[in-house]
């Protein structure tokens, strides 16, 4: 199989990077995401994991992928897939009142842009993610934009995942 690549963009800031899908390590997750592309949604900056941006989506597969290629310590450039129930993210402190409701499932596609990340949430404990992609180009510019997003705010910004063919 030839390598598959996607582009991840912060739309308003006009910044993007390129990532390689890790088909050899997370084949089911890669297939699910690839088949669903393009995906775009409001961007959030992590509260707990540190150097992470992400968007939330409704489920886009008939069954969630298994925990393949898991991590709780993502490194710069890792793309991670998480699936959460509405009860896991439904508290007001998370701020997802538009996207998350009891009885729903939410898919979180995340980009980690700097070191020292730990997927530990005080409410639920360890939160392993599936590493399904790795940024291969443009991480430095994306990291600068992510740091700006943390300082200036995410309101009005979108995170987009699209195919590069």
Query: Rounded distance, CA 68 to CA 128, Å?
Result: 10
* pLDDT tens per residue across span 11-34: 999 999 999 999 999 999 999 999
51 touches 116 (CB < 8 A): yes
Looking at the chain, the whole-number percentage of residues with pLDDT higher than 90 is 79
- The structure's pTM equals 0.93
* pLDDT tens per residue across span 73-127: 999 999 999 998 866 665 665 556 666 667 788 899 999 999 999 999 877 889 9
The chain-wide mean pLDDT, for the chain, equals 92
CA pseudo-torsion sign 131, 132, 135, 139: negative
E strand or H helix at 7: strand 5-10
Query: How would you classify the pairing of strands 44-45 and 52-57?
Result: antiparallel
Which domain, by its residues, includes 114?
Answer: 5-164
Number of domains in the chain: 1
55 touches 43 (CB < 8 A): yes
Token look-up 């992609």 returns 133
CATH code of residue 56: 2.40.100.20
Query: Rounded distance, CA 126 to CA 119, Å?
Result: 6
């Amino acid at each position: 199989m030839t390598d598959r690549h996607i582009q991840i963009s912060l739309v308003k800031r006009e910044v993007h990077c390129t990532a390689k899908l890790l088909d050899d390590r997370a084949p089911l997750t890669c297939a699910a995401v690839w088949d669903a592309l393009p995906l775009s949604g409001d961007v959030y900056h992590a509260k707990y994991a540190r150097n992470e941006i992400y968007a939330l989506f409704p489920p886009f597969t008939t069954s969630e992928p298994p925990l393949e290629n898991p991590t709780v310590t993502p490194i710069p450039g890792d793309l991670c897939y998480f699936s959460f129930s509405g009860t896991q993210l439904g508290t007001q402190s998370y701020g997802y009142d538009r996207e998350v409701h009891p009885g729903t499932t939410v898919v979180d596609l995340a980009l980690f842009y700097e070191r020292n990340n730990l997927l530990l949430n005080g409410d639920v404990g360890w939160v392993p993610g599936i590493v399904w992609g790795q940024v291969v180009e443009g991480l430095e510019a994306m990291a600068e934009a992510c740091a700006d997003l943390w300082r200036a705010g995410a309101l009005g910004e979108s995170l987009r995942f699209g195919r590069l063919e």
